[in-house]
Structure 1
Amino acid sequence: MAESPLKLCSRVGCRNLTRGRYCADHIKEKHQYDRYRGTASQRGYDSQWRKVRLGFLRKHPLCVHCLVAGKVVAATVVDHIKPHKGDKVLFWDRANWQALCASCHSIKTVKEDGGFGN
């Protein structure tokens, strides 16, 4: 069976080549982060959040970043404008929410903290 081609490590700024997602230097970091991060439910994204999220997206069906750019794209993510970092008051503050499409949310996440999971 043929081996997969080498590609750059997914860690932002890393230039190491790997066949997996992360190089040997960064695979350990990823596992350590996941170990202490907690599940989505433990971080507040539970059944109550899912219900409220759906209601928010019904009232705000379009991505606000795309609208600013003159595009009409359906929103699929309720984003916390200011990251809540576990603060339940900020987590539930609807003035801190915005409707985004998955693409805009990913771009925002990368700009804020270097990528998903970092």
Structure 2
Amino acid sequence: MHTPLKPCNEPGCPTLTREGYCEQHKRTKPAYDRSRESAARRGYNGKWRKARQGYLTKHPFCVSCMKEGRRVPATVVDHITPHKGDKKLFWDSSNWQPLCAPCHSRKTAKEDGGFGNRTSNLRM
């Protein structure tokens, strides 16, 4: 039995597919995403979740929003400098900052070249 056809995950694409993306958009997916390991394999496991929760308890507000005078709860512990698999940098809490999900998404898009941006090493 086949899985039902669904619209492609690419915004605005009406093509129906049984996978997340249609053939056209599957090919345009960045190589970074195609070769990326699972979150657990990148270190985001139970040990990380415990450290993350402790950090957010001590740092409950998004640092980017606070700079704009807004007190928005942080939900993400961001690596200021992307660790790219470097375990020492991954666990260096001086490289962490609390962000809300929208601020984290914007930062990641700037770093990874998402949303049509070129990649950069901008920090928030």
Give the TM-score of the pair, scaled to structure 2. 0.72
Cα 1:35/1:108, change in 2 over 3 Å: closer
Structure 1 residue 30 displacement after superposition = 3.3
Structure 1 residue 74 displacement after superposition = 0.1
* 1: CA distance, partners of 2:110 / 2:22: 22
Structure 1 residue runs of 4+, over 2 Å off? 20-26, 28-36
The one-letter code sitting in structure 2 at the alignment partner of 1:58 is T
Cα deviation 1:68-105 (Å, max 9, x = unaligned):
01111000000000000000000000010000000100
Give the TM-score of the pair, scaled to structure 1. 0.76
Q: Structure 2: where are the runs of 5+ without partners? A: 1-6, 120-124
* 2: CA distance, partners of 1:94 / 1:18: 41
* 1: CA distance, partners of 2:111 / 2:50: 27
Greater helix content: 1
* 1: CA distance, partners of 2:106 / 2:97: 14
Cα 1:43/1:29, change in 2 over 3 Å: farther
The equivalent residue for 2:61 is 62
Give the number of the structure with larger relative contact order, counting CA–CA contacts within 8 Å between residues 6 or more apart: 1
The one-letter code sitting in structure 2 at the alignment partner of 1:37 is R
1:2-81 correspondence to structure 2 within 5 Å: 9=10, 18-19=13-14, 24-30=23-29, 34-81=33-80
SS at match of 1:18: coil
Q: Structure 1: where are the runs of 5+ without partners? A: 11-16
The equivalent residue for 2:85 is 86
Q: What is the root-mean-square deviation in Å for CA atoms of aligned residues?
A: 3.0
* 2: CA distance, partners of 1:93 / 1:68: 23
The equivalent residue for 2:109 is 110
